Amino acid sequence: MVRTRTGVYHDSVSLMRVSRAATALSGVEVAVVAMATELNLGIAAELGFDLPPAGPADLLIALRGEVDALEAASAELDGLLAALSAPSPGGGGDGGGAGRPPRTVRAAAREHAATLALVSVPGPHAFAEALDAVEAGLSVMIFSDNVPVGQEVLLKRRAAERGVLVMGPDCGTAVIGGAGLGFANVLRPGPVGLVAASGTGAQQVSCLLDLAGVGVSHVLGVGGRDLSSDVGGLSTLRALEALDADPATELIVLISKPPAPEVARAVEEAVAKLGTPVVTALLGPGQDDLTSVTEAALRVLGVPVPTWPSWPASAAAPEHPGTTGAGTGTGTGGNVRGIYSGGTLCVEARLIAGTGEFTDFGDDAYTVGRAHPMIDPALRLEALAEVPPGDVVLLDVVLGHGADPDPAARLAPAIAEAVARGVTAVVALVGSEGDPQGLTTQAEALNAAGATVFTSNAGAAGYAARAATRVDANAR
C-alpha cells in the first residue's frame, strides 16, 4: 500500500516516530512515512515499494504487511498523522484570517510576539529559516544538522549585529527559562547557567547537578563547531555575555569538545572579564572530565559532592567504584567497544579509556535520512550484535523529552544476548529523576539484563577500561 499527500509537511523526527509506531502495528512488516525527498524515495525503493511520482513537498506513506491488516493499520496511521497536524492551543493566523497558520518565521514572530525560534528542517533548508528568524530580531535554536559551516558563520555574524543568539546548527538541547527544547531533560530550576558546544555534554553535567540537588537557570547550546577555527566561538562569546548579565545565574559552566587552540585562548580571555564565576570543561588530553567539572561546580557553590548512583552487575569483573575516575587499564589486549549516541560523551569515554574502538552514531554521517540514535537505536543494535565474546561494550543511554520513550525496551534484550555470549556490558545512563522514562526504572531494566550502569559517563568509561584489562589478564 503506497499513498502520497500533496502539500503536507511534518518534520523528520515526528515522521520517524510515526514510522516506528506504524511498524509496531499488528500485521505491519514495513512502514515508511516520510517527506518524498530524493533520499527517502530511494530508501523506499530499496525496500521494494512501487512508487508513484512524488516530490519533496509530498508526504509519502508506504505500508507492507498482511493484506487484511493494512486497512486497519492505515486508519491508525491517519490518526497518528492527524495528531501531528492538530493546532496548538491558541493557534493563530498570519493576518490573513482566523485559523490560518503563519507561513514565515517573521509572520509567526509578529503574531505571537516571540523572542526565540526553533528551526528543525532538513539541513539544506535550515539557513533560510534561521536567517528569517535572525532578521526578525529573534534568537534561534537550529536543531537541524548537515548545515554548511559557511552558512553557520554568516548566521552567527548577522546575529551578533542584531544582538541575538544563534544556538546551533546541530544544537541538540537547550533550556531557556525552564523550558526545555530539543532533547531536554526535566531539570529543577537553579543558579547554574551552561554554555555548551555539546548537547550530550550539557545533558550529562545538568543531570549530575540535578542528582546533587542543584538546578539550572539556562542551558545555551551553541553547536558542536562553534569553538572550531572556522566559527571562532561566535555564539559561545555571545552566550557567556548573556549569562553574565542574567541575575538568576550565579555560576557558569562552559562545556565543549576539544576546541581550536586559538579559539580556546579567546574564550579564556573573555571569561577573565566576566563578573560571574566560570567553571570550564574543554575536553582534551590532560583536561578534567565532565563529572569532575560538575563536582568542581558543586564545590564552588558550597554543595557536598554526592556518590553518583550506579548499579553493579551481579558478576562485575573489576572493582566497582561509586565515584568517577579514569581507568588504570590501558588495554594490554582487552578491547573496549564504545557504541555511542552522544558525540561529546564518546570523546570523553575515548579519552578516559585510552584504547579501544569508539563510534559516535549521532554523527552527521549516520543521521542522514534516519532518526538520531537517541530516538532509533537500530544502528547501535547492529553494532552491539557484532561485539565478540571477551570484549567490553560501553554504551550511553540518554533520557529526557525527545528521546526514545523507553530505550531499555529494545536495548536490554540485546544487552542480555551480548552478556550471554561473554561480552561485558557497561552503560552510561544520562538522565534526571524527573525524566519521563524514569531514571531508576531504566537503570534497573538495563542492570537486570546484565549491564553495570553508571550515571557518570566518566565512571562508566573508567570501569570499562579496567574491565577490559582484567578480561585480558584472565584470558592469559
State the pLDDT at residue 286: 86
Q: Using a CB cutoff of 8 Å and minimum separation of 24, what contacts does 273-279 make? A: 274/240, 274/244, 275/244, 276/193, 276/243, 276/244, 276/249, 276/250, 276/251, 276/252, 277/250, 277/251, 277/252, 278/240, 278/251, 278/252, 278/253, 278/254, 279/251, 279/252, 279/253, 279/254
Average pLDDT along the chain: 88
Between 328 and 339, the higher pLDDT residue: 339
Domain 105-301: CATH superfamily is Succinyl-CoA synthetase domains (3.40.50.261)
Over residues 272-306, the pLDDT tens digits come to 999 999 999 888 888 899 999 999 999 999 999 99
Closest Cα to residue 364, out of 100, 49, 148, 177? Answer: 148
State the pLDDT at residue 368: 67
Over range 314-329, report the average pLDDT: 46
State the pLDDT at residue 471: 52
- CA angle in degrees (0–180, nearest 5) for 14-147-9: 30
State the pLDDT at residue 94: 43
Between 186 and 473, the higher pLDDT residue: 186
Q: For the chain, what are the domain ranges?
A: 2-85, 105-301, 310-475
State the pLDDT at residue 196: 95
Q: Which CATH number fits domain 310-475: 3.30.43.10, 3.40.50.261, 1.10.3720.10, 3.50.50.60?
A: 3.40.50.261
Q: Which three cell numbers stand for residue 334?
A: 582487552
Of 59-63, 120-124, 397-401, least confident by mean pLDDT is 120-124
Over range 429-448, report the average pLDDT: 97
Distances (CA, A) of 204 to 194, 212, 357, 390: 11, 12, 22, 29
Please check whether the two domains, 105-301 and 310-475, share a CATH topology.
yes
State the pLDDT at residue 278: 97
State pTM to two decimals: 0.83
